[in-house]
Amino acid sequence: MRGVAEEKGVPTEPISLKKDAKGRVLIDIRAPVTKKLQALIQSLKGRVVSTSQRDDSTIAYLSLGRIEKLAQNPDVKFISTPAEAMTNQR
């Protein structure tokens, strides 16, 4: 159900999304890394950037309007913005 995030106690703070030249957002898809998953991302007009079989992670660009379709795949456990590297420089 849409529009009930506050009722459910879901945080509603704005988040920063990294976008490519086509307006697709960078996401981290937690699911077993398979050719079938990569084909699904491509069929949704997405672009795979990197994969990690060890972490069951695929980093990809995908249109916001198509993320829900990807999330319907039973193998997908979680979709989020990717973690960014940090350094300890002073």
Structure confidence by residue, pLDDT tens digits, 12-69: 778 788 999 999 999 999 999 999 999 999 999 999 999 999 999 999 999 999 999 9
Domain residue extents for the chain: 25-80
**CATH 3.30.70.80 applies to domain 25-80:** yes
User: How far is the C-alpha of 61 from the C-alpha of 67, rounded, in Å?
Assistant: 10
User: Tens digits of per-residue pLDDT, 12-27?
Assistant: 778 788 999 999 999 9
Report the distance separating Cα 47 and Cα 5, nearest Å. 29
Confidence of residue 2 (pLDDT cuts 50, 70, 90): low
H helix intervals, the chain: 35-43, 64-71
Q: How many residues does the chain have?
A: 90
CB 70 within 8 A of CB 40: yes
